[in-house]
Chain A
Amino acid sequence: MEKIIETIDLNYSYRAGTSEEVRALYDINISVLPGEMLAITGQNGSGKSTLARHFNGLLTPSAGDVIVKGLSTRNKENIKEIRKVVGMVFQNPDNQLISSIVEEDIAFGPENLGLPQSEIRERVNWALHTLNLEKLRYEPPNNLSAGQKQQVAIAGVLAMKPECMVLDEPTAHLDPRGRREVLESSVRLNKEEGITIVLLTHYMNEVIHCDRMVIMDNGRLEMQGTPREIFLNSKEVKKMGLDLPVVTHIAAGLNRKGFNVAPDLIHTEELIDNLCRLK
């Protein structure tokens, strides 16, 4: 299967070549496969944002390579094509919306691609519809909640029809409801529209919806696997400064106390099933 994104021995330093050089990434080898939902987690400062910014050529490696659909991000001429493939959503929704009207903001990306007018209109309608934002079409972003603004930001990227969407802690600034809505949207885009999702987060309850996860620590890729495999190894996870999902925590605790509950549960329904079978 052709990989959408592949990093080969990716190393990166901020202010490289100066006395203030800060090493941010060490020998990262990671692939993003078509159609998957991948979580990248790690504490603040672990390098996950720096890594994500390599995925669409915002940063270029100090050493090693990043290949997006066969195109190297080192080559400036590839950048336009790469950004069509990999869209990116950022943490603070206020700082990524451009226009004073929702609809116009969503049109911004397609307009940059130089698409014909009718095609832009169609894509904007489709993005609004897919994310259930039709009611907000003519609203100014200032009137929206943070969660709604983030949905608009996602719609803006969606309208560019990327194969892969990288979400850099999209829920960090949101309240629980906004967080749930943004997560639901990402899962839906992945399952229904077939868009590959790379989700950066430190909420473990978001990670459990992903097919695969990696954990970063101090600029190194430390763990890789399905959430189920990784959370089974609770000691290691905690060493990276991360928590377990609530369900895993409960299941593992019960398992240790001798109850017949599997220790690698991640979803609430699984836990309920297991508990019901206990009698």
Chain B
Amino acid sequence: MELTKNITLGVYLPGTSIIHHLDPRTKIIAAMVLIVLLLFSRSYTTYSLIFLFTAIIVLFSGIPPGYVVRGLKPMLPVLVIMWIFQLFLFKTPDTTILFEWWILEATEAGLHMANLITLRVLFLFTVTTLLTLTTSVVNLTDGLESLLKPLRMIGLPSQELVMTLVIALRFVLILAEELEKIVKAQMARGVAFDQGNFIQKTKKLFPVFLPLFIGAFKRAEELIVAMESRSYTGGKGRTKMKTLQMSRADLAAAVVIVTYSIILIYVIVTVEPVI
């Protein structure tokens, strides 16, 4: 699967760092706080602070910084396109024009907006990547389940949702393997997937996805029977082998996050936004 080789989002990098050992709930909440703060950041000063803090997290997580940067590479084209769009499209009435080209004009306001949005998306991606790089899937789902539990009161089937997620994660690889098998079977019978124009190429994919979907439904049916046989009747009445436990490190992390948030909120409020 060459497609997945360059993508670091959603990949877990096992390790023994302090960040790895934090309770998944701490990490999920911290990531959420960071993301919310990102959305309010509108000056280069705040982004420098965010960069500093993210760098510290990377340092403590023991993940090679190069690995995190490489993970951003597939995002690059999207970021560039976004930057160009913002540069030319965003305008305020009293801004100075930097340069004109054809019917487009780039303004100072546009430049700042383009920079801010790009930085925002970049850090959004980095923060989520850091969460998944340091937290195994099982911990992540356990954390989610625990965090969503209060929402059961308003009727959200949190346990069932998380169970669905757990199963989906397990079957992603199985279905990827199956897809590969089907593609190879078609190639063995002479289908050339890389030839023809766009429409011809797309048409060739139908005989691939149809068996994949049928196979997936068959698997789903067998899985339901197996789960029922093992007494699964939904989240109600279920207990867990592992329960999450907060440690002293989580308390420390919470203190750090709160301190950082206060500083950042202060900066957001006092420093004049660039746009």
A residues bordering B, Cβ < 8 Å? 53, 56, 58, 80, 83-84, 87-88, 90, 92, 94-101, 103-104, 107-117, 120-121, 124, 141-142, 156-157, 160
Question: From B142, which residue of chain A is reached at the shortest CB distance?
Answer: A104
In the complex, the answer to whether A99 meets B241 with C-beta atoms within 8 Å is: no
Interface pair A111/B223, CB less than 8 Å apart: no
Beta-carbon contact of B230 and A99 below 8 Å: no
Q: List 27 A-B contacts (CB under 8 A).
A: A80-B233, A83-B228, A83-B231, A84-B231, A88-B226, A90-B226, A95-B222, A98-B170, A98-B223, A101-B138, A104-B138, A104-B242, A107-B241, A108-B232, A109-B231, A112-B233, A112-B237, A112-B238, A113-B231, A114-B237, A117-B240, A117-B241, A120-B241, A142-B170, A157-B229, A157-B230, A160-B231
Asked if B32 CB lies within 8 Å of chain A CBs, one says no
- The answer on a CB contact under 8 Å between A58 and B229 is yes
Q: Which size class do B's interface residues fall under?
A: 20 to 34
A97 to B219, CA, bound (A): 11
Task: Give CA–CA (A111, B166) in the complex, Å.
Answer: 15
Measured in the bound complex, the distance between the Cα atoms of B167 and A124 in whole Å is 20
Residue B202 interfacial (CB < 8 Å): no
Q: Which residues of A contact B170 (CB under 8 A)?
A: 97-100, 141-142
| Cβ of B227 under 8 Å from chain A | yes
* Cα–Cα distance between A113 and B222 once the two chains are bound (Å): 21
- Whether the Cβ atoms of A96 and B239 lie closer than 8 Å is no
Of all A-B residue pairs in the complex, the 3 with the closest CB atoms, nearest first, are: A96-B226, A95-B222, A107-B241
* A104 / chain B contacts, CB cutoff of 8 Å: 138, 241-242
A residues near B243, Cβ cutoff 8 Å: 117
Q: A58-B228, A112-B231 are in contact. Are A100 and B241 (CB under 8 A)?
A: no
Contact B226 A111 (CB under 8 A): no
Q: How far is the CA of A117 from the CA of B169 in the complex (A)?
A: 25
From B137, B228, B230, B240, A100 is in contact (CB under 8 Å) with B137
Q: Nearest CB to that of A141 among chain B residues?
A: B170
Would you give the shortest CB distance from B132 to chain A, in whole angstroms?
14
Q: For the complex, is B174 an interface residue (Cβ under 8 Å from A)?
A: yes
Residue interface bits B204-237, CB-to-A below 8 A is 1, else 0: 0000000000000001001101111111110001
Bound: A267/B168 CA distance, A: 45
Residue from B166, B233, B237 in contact with A98 in the complex, judged by beta carbons closer than 8 Å: B166
Known contacts: A98-B170, A100-B169, A142-B173. The answer to whether A120 contacts B230 by CB under 8 A is no
- The interface residues of chain B lying within 8 Å CB-to-CB of A114 are 237-239
> Please, which residues of chain B bring their CB within 8 A of the CB of A124?
241
Complex contacts, B240 vs chain A, CB 8 Å: 107, 111, 117, 120
CA distance A83 to B228 in the complex (A): 9
